[in-house]
Amino acid sequence: MGSMLVVLLFIFLLPQKKIVIDAESAGDLYLPPDTFEIHWIHSIEKEEWFEVYDIENDGFILTESHFKTFGAGVPSDSDEPAEMTEDGFVKYTVNDPYPDIYLNVSDNVETKIVQNQEEILLYELYKPYTAVEITVKNIPLIKQILGG
């Protein structure tokens, strides 16, 4: 019985690497440390844009940026030439490191995270213009269960 308790404590207290979505005045969301995308509707272009991020150590690598048209703020420097995808996006290979990701959620731009075919509609979870920080952290299972 005692060894079972020790094993359970170990499982619940052992930190696991997670993507943490921390929104002001809301509980944290925890995602597996896998590739994910951030999607939004560009405020001027009125077209969907998305970026693909991989996890590296305790940070992120922006690997790709996908958009429909060129304009202000669009990536213009890449080690590889831009390519056109079958669904009409221009795909840029980026490979820029970021220790954390900061964004503001808005239902106007339909901010969402896509990971493993699952959409997390941040604009429905949070009030408009909520500031969100996305980090990679080691989080004990008990904290994940209790939320935050």
Q: Is residue 7 part of a domain?
A: no
3-state secondary structure of 87: coil
pLDDT for res 74: 67
Q: Is the pLDDT of residue 10 over 60?
A: no
pLDDT for res 11: 58
Tens digits of residue pLDDT in 89-122? 989 888 999 999 999 998 899 999 999 999 999 9
pLDDT for res 40: 93
pLDDT for res 4: 62
pLDDT for res 82: 83
Q: Is residue 3 part of a domain?
A: no
Q: Is residue 77 part of a domain?
A: yes
Q: Is residue 143 part of a domain?
A: no
Report the domain count for the chain: 1
Nearest to 94 by CA among 41, 45, 44, 38: 38
Position with higher pLDDT, 71 vs 55 = 55
Q: Is residue 144 part of a domain?
A: no
Tens digits of residue pLDDT in 11-40? 566 778 999 999 987 888 999 999 999 999
Q: Structural domain of residue 127, as residue ranges?
A: 18-138
How far apart CA 103 and CA 60 sit, in angstroms, is: 14
Asked if 99 contacts 126 with a C-beta cutoff of 8 angstroms, the reply is no
Position with higher pLDDT, 128 vs 146 = 128
Strand partners, 132: 23, 103
Q: Is the pLDDT of residue 75 over 80?
A: no
What does the CA dihedral 48, 137, 139, 117 come to, rounded to 10 degrees? 20
